[in-house]
Structure 1
């Protein structure tokens, strides 16, 4: 199952109501067959601009990040479910991409530029793209195309 991250902004409310809203969100993920990996509270902050959601204008919100694994077919259902919850102001689901594996080439990077393999390849490409130059030693004493 791929990993996803849910960024939530909940309306400002007392702690018991906030806990019940997070519990509803977590149960929705678990009911869809997901596995919650991490729940992170980012605190209550002022929103960058006033947000109107479910007929109410909000200026502050409590931010949460939830990392979870679930089937890609369940994401649309989760978004729809979160959209109906009146306590959730904003919700975005992001797919967590695995970082690319790369080989360390520090010993090659420490070489002078003329000895590096990638620099030598660039020099070869530049040599192939050079145009042939006009040979001025053609037997004439003058350049025939000059006016």
Structure 2
């Protein structure tokens, strides 16, 4: 199962209410077969701009990140479910990409940029994307696109 991260902004509430919202959210994830890896509280702070959600204007919120593993088909269900929750002001689910394995040697780093393998690949990509230019010496006596 792929890994995902749920970034949530909860409305400003007391601590017991926040705990109940988190239990409800985590319970929804667990009921649908997810495995919760990490729950992270990022604190209460002012929102970057006022947000109107469920008919209420919010200026402050509590930020949380929940890392979990789930089937890709369940993600849209989670977004719909959390969209109906009046305590959640904003929610977004991101897929966590595994970083690529990159190995570099001192010899490769000491080469001038034009001789490095990754720079050579970028030059090849740029050459493939260039448009072909009209050659005046194409065998025709005239420029064919002139009126």
TM-score range, shorter chain: 0.7 to 0.9
Shift of 1:118: 4.0
The gaps in structure 1 that reach 5 residues or longer are 126-147
**Partner deviation per Cα, 1:10-57 (whole Å, 9 max, x = no partner):** 000010000000110000011110000000000000001110101100
Q: Please tell me whether the aligned partners of residues 109 and 116 of structure 1 are also in contact (alpha carbons under 8 angstroms).
A: no
Which secondary structure state, in structure 2, belongs to the residue aligned with residue 37 of structure 1?
A: strand
Shift of 1:107: 2.4
Structure 1 CA distance, aligned partners of 2:104 and 2:113?
20
1:99 matched residue in structure 2: 99
The gaps in structure 2 that reach 5 residues or longer are 125-147
Alignment RMSD: 2.2
Shift of 1:117: 5.6
**Partner deviation per Cα, 1:72-106 (whole Å, 9 max, x = no partner):** 00001111110011100000000000101122222
Structure 2 CA distance, aligned partners of 1:98 and 1:114?
27
TM-score by length of 1: 0.76
Number of residue-to-residue matches in the alignment: 121
2:52 matched residue in structure 1: 52
